[in-house]
Structure 1
Amino acid sequence: MKSKNRRRMAAGSLALILTMSGLLAACGKNSSKDQAGASGPLEVSVMTILLSASPPAADNPIKKAIEEATNSKLNIQWVSGNNYTDKLNVTLASGDIPDLVTINDPFSSVFRNAVSQGAFWDLTPYYKEYPNLGSKISDTAWELTKMQDGKNYGIPRPRPAEADQFLVIRKDWLDNLGLKVPTTTDELYTVMKAFAEKDPDKNGKNDTIPFAAYLNAPSDMASLGAIENSFTGANVKNDKWKLQDGKIVNTAFLPETRTAIEYMTNMYKDKLIPEDFASMKLSQASDLFKAGKAGMIVEKAGTMNDYYEKLKKVDPNFKPTDFYPITSINGFNPKGPGFSGMLSIPKSVPEAKMKQILKLVDTWMNDDVFAIQQYGFEGTHYTVQDGQKVINTEKLAADNGPDFNQIVYVADPYASSTKVYFPKDANDLFKSIQDERAKTSVADISTGLYSPTAVRALPEFEKKAQDLKTKIILGREPITAWDDFTAKMKNDPDIVKMSQELTEAYQKRAGGK
């Protein structure tokens, strides 16, 4: 469904033509290396992404420390991120797959087909036996990385699931006008109207824009998506689907979407968003907010410093806590997928060694072991001042510490909200709001669901839908044009087929729930 999957279809087909037979023939291979003794190091071949200029050497001190801590010997093949996908496709087709491999896109056609051919271990029955795999990787990540049969064929590479991008508002503007943080779309509209008409920055000029909105062509409503999602209750950052009455339905056909379009049309009429929002980019929206001209933007709390330094120059009274994340609107806020790629183990690895690799990854996720690549060594990569580690990031990068994050990573659950260098009152605020958001956050359940029809037909439908939404908001088409469009498309064979295929995929992933 995602554009990157479509781009890889051709490459995937070519790779599969090279045949999966070699891979399957290798499933039964064994060697003395596979049978690490209880006291000897476990030898593991790894293929992963390299994002820095040069890879760690075999005797890299950080690598050696990780090996000692995990009782392993790692033979790592570092592949440039620029051509990792091509290299991975060729490797999957060859059958000569390393013991542990980074799968940058779990939903590519090549990996899906490799899984369907039985090329990778189903980790579902095993991973809960390892405490860090269960506790330091969110349930959301495990759920959304399930393949079409409802099983997990890799360890998700964790990212924070909570505190995804949502509405951030100028708290000082609210205070200047005696307004509370909005919790509903009605309250939000009242606030935006006040931001437009009542001089919230108290400079005596009518020069403020309530919401720094922008679009991403051809099918992403970008920051306006936060408004639409607050009506539909669906997280549709990527693909526009919602679970309703047990079926996956396109949000275009929900009555709440029509209401959202009318709401956004009124926003434009009342000058609550930039006149040129349809042609604006993210950088321009950010610049508008940084210049102190806009009262609201879609961002993560963890980006506060990016805005604070600029805003402080415009308004010396601006405080970090004035960069205020709205908890929810209409009880909705978005949850992130909680992962970025995953680590998979081919069936060519015997079961006993597969379990040892899971143990290796689990041990690597221990706080003291992960700290090796996160901080390096005291006196070399960091010093301790007032009880805090002060990292020499240049030295740590030179010794490739961050590169090992491409193999094993542990995500701070509050990383999207808080930073060690934020003031305590800001971190306390952002953490408390994240905790409240976690009670109502909604994930994009369509992540990873596969529909052959959607791969072919969805992009054109989404483009038409966004084009029409934009024209209605700009006043170039009436709202009845949306009624005509959805009435015509609701029974379109491709739309019907997409919904059926995605519903079946969801049911399989959910185990028939």
Structure 2
Amino acid sequence: MKRKRFIIVMVSLLTIAGGLSGCAGGKDTPTAKQEGNTPLEVTIATPQVGEAPKKDSEVELAIEKYTNSKIDIQWIPSAAFEDKKNIMIASSEMPKAFKITSNATTLSAVQSGLFWEIGPMLTDYKNLSAVNALYYENIKVDGKLYGLPLYRDFGRAGIVYRKDWFDELGLKPPVTLDDWYNIMKTIAEKNPEKNGQNDTYGMFLDKSYNDPVASSSFLTRLAVSQGAPNKWGVEDGTMVAEFMTKPYLDSMKLLRRLFQENLINQDFSVVQTADADNKWNAGKVGIRINTVASAAATSQVNLNKAVPDGVVDIVPYMGPSGNRVPAEPGNNGFFVFPKSSVKSEAELKQLLGFFDKLLDPEMSTLLTRGVEGKHFNKTSDGKAQFIDLSLFNLEVKPYRDSLPAFEVTGTGLPLELSDLQAKGWRVVADNLENAVPNLALTLNSKTYLEKGGELDTLIRDAQTKFIMGKIDEAGWQAEVDNWKKAGGGKVIEEYSAEYAKQKK
């Protein structure tokens, strides 16, 4: 485990160096082989981030001009994306670049041969080949690479909180589960808004709280801080799912108690992430749990629109053993290239050339800083300083979050960081040393491939029923046993066998 953590730390450091040197090479990308000067048609489908940008926005036109392309982005509301994705895959009516995430459905689609393998081609692209290999290793299927990741840091978890409320109420950031309970109870009952109404929450949960795949899900972050594995761990040579461990059950018991005492929102199982964001933005929430450490400054900006004097701070997740966070896979999904819409290897190479150019310094600056004079100004020491972060979030962030880019460690103009921004990024950097890997991230399980969606739904529903008090602890254990009988036990066997092979 320590060796794996060391690898993650070194990979992140090498990524910075690799990113900075990525554009120094002299390779000619296959984009240059386009016939004449005809713009490359690039159709993209991706989940919507915030408000969908208008067609032919300033950012989009700048991308098209630099890459000699014509872009058509289909922004699909996040809540509807999985259903839409499955329909598109089933009908083979897919865009040329299709953003997907790792789950049983997409794994099955990849293994069925619907998408191009791109791994052997990346050496032809100066930027894509300079990215550290672990970003690609983490999304390989059966040892082969089919996608380009939306690169993300490995240790992004952090507790963004209302420092003004905490100071006023005599609270400190949580370490133990008892701390979490006391914070939730105090904020819910002490009316830190001073409006005489019982309308504040310690935290506002949404239905992604127990996402079975994402290491960024709140229940995984909380349980890992208390000693649980990150999705999958190993005990005595056998793989064990996070929800089979005591720290995870204890974390669920905390949420159950909070629900029973009406200290968290009672509709958490159906709330969308956007609705939870709105509660924070309205100044109704003490701890923002569905965000990342590096976004602390954005949380401050969003809060101050409704609460001008609200103060935000950021600390790492802590537990009885200190800082302990789930290592994330290094991506927020990845782009695959369907054979049904990308008709030839030559066209595929042109598309890879398009994505390679997005990592050039000019495009990296555009995607992560915006347009000079509108979204940022250049400081005397050659850094970018945001003019209006709200305007950036509206006009640029959807592209930054939906296309490959390195926000701070890329080749673009370095950012002049505020104190809160710098603190957020320090949390991200410090997390790396204590990031707990998901030991099953690249393991194969035939049973999970066939039944993963059903198994994930079974256990997610059981978790929600337990938290809402519809089943007791014995009922929860019965649901875990049902999960094992439905195929979970076989998944454990197959993962354990794969893990043993890797260790040899």
Asked whether the two chains share a fold, i.e. TM above 0.5, the reply is yes
Deviations 1:49-91 (A, max 9, x none): 16777689xxx77545446xxxxxx7x7857567898888888
| Distance in 2 (alpha carbons) for counterparts of 1:92 and 1:279 | 30
Q: Distance in 2 between matches of 1:195 and 1:42?
A: 61
SS of aligned partner of 1:104: strand
Equivalent in the alignment of 1:5: none
Q: How does 1:242-257 map to 2 (within 5 A)?
A: 242-257=233-248
Give a deviation string over 1:8-32, Cα, whole Å, max 9, x none.
xxxxxxxxxxxxxxxxxxxxxxxxx
**How far off its partner does 1:213 sit?**
3.6
Residue 482 of structure 1: aligned partner: 476
After superposition, the C-alpha distances for 1:245-295 in whole angstroms (9 at most, x for unaligned) are 554433332233332233333333454323554555545544444444432
Q: Alignment partner of 1:342: what SS? A: strand
Aligned-pair identity in percent equals 20
Give the deviation of 1:433 after TM superposition.
1.9
1:321-400 equivalence runs, <5 A = 322-330=312-320, 331-339=323-331, 340-342=333-335, 349=345, 365-368=359-362, 370-371=364-365, 384=377, 388=384
Q: How does 1:257-296 map to 2 (within 5 A)?
A: 257-278=248-269, 280-296=271-287
Instruction: Give 1:203-242 correspondences, 5 Å limit.
Output: 203=194, 207=198, 209=200, 211-216=202-207, 220=211, 223-231=218-226, 233-236=228-231, 241-242=232-233
Distance (whole Å) between structure 2 residues aligned to residue 131 and residue 372 of structure 1: 19
Q: What pairs with 1:384-423 in structure 2 (closer than 5 Å)?
A: 384=377, 388=384, 409-413=404-408
The 5-angstrom pairing of residues 455-494 of structure 1 reads: 455-486=449-480, 488-489=481-482, 492=485, 494=487
Match of 2:177?
185
Deviations along 1:121-159, whole A, 9 cap, x unmatched? 543xx7579774365x45552222111x32334443424
Structure showing greater radius of gyration is 1
Q: 1:156 aligns with which of 144, 149, 154?
A: 149
* Residue matched to 2:22: none
For 1:491 and 1:286, locate their aligned partners in 2 and report how far apart those are by CA, in whole Å. Answer: 35
TM-score by length of 1: 0.63
Matched, 1:133 2:123: no
Closer, same or farther: CA 492–179 of 1 in aligned 2, 3 Å: same
- Correspondences of 1:97-136 after superposition (within 5 Å): 102-105=97-100, 107-114=106-113, 120-123=117-120, 132-133=127-128
CA–CA distance in 2 between the matches of 1:81 and 1:204? 39
Q: Is the 8 A contact 2:210 2:218 kept in 1?
A: no
For the residues of structure 2 that align with 1:37 and 1:232, how far apart are their CA atoms? Answer: 48
Q: Does 1:425 align with 2:419?
A: yes
**Deviation of 1:412 (Å):** 1.0
Structure 1 pair 180–150 and aligned structure 2 pair: CA distance change class (3 A): same
Cα gap change, 1:323 to 1:41, in 2 (>3 Å): same
Could you report, residue by residue, the CA deviation over 1:103-122 in whole angstroms, capped at 9, with x for unpaired residues? 53374434323289xx6354
Alpha-carbon distance change, 364 to 502 in structure 1, aligned in 2, over 3 angstroms: same
In structure 2, what is the Cα distance between the partners aligned to 1:431 and 1:142?
Answer: 23
CA distance in 2, matches of 1:280, 1:90: 30
Gaps of 5+ in 1: 1-35, 68-73
Question: CA RMSD, aligned part only?
Answer: 5.4
* Greater Cα shift, 185-194 or 340-349: 340-349
**AA aligned opposite 2:492:** S
- Alpha-carbon distance between aligned partners in 2 of 1:182 and 1:494, rounded to the nearest angstrom: 37
The alignment partner of 1:211 has SS state of coil
The alignment covers a number of residue pairs equal to 437
Stretches of structure 2 that go unaligned for 5 or more consecutive residues are 1-26, 47-52, 77-83
Q: Write the letter of the residue equivalent to 1:297.
A: R
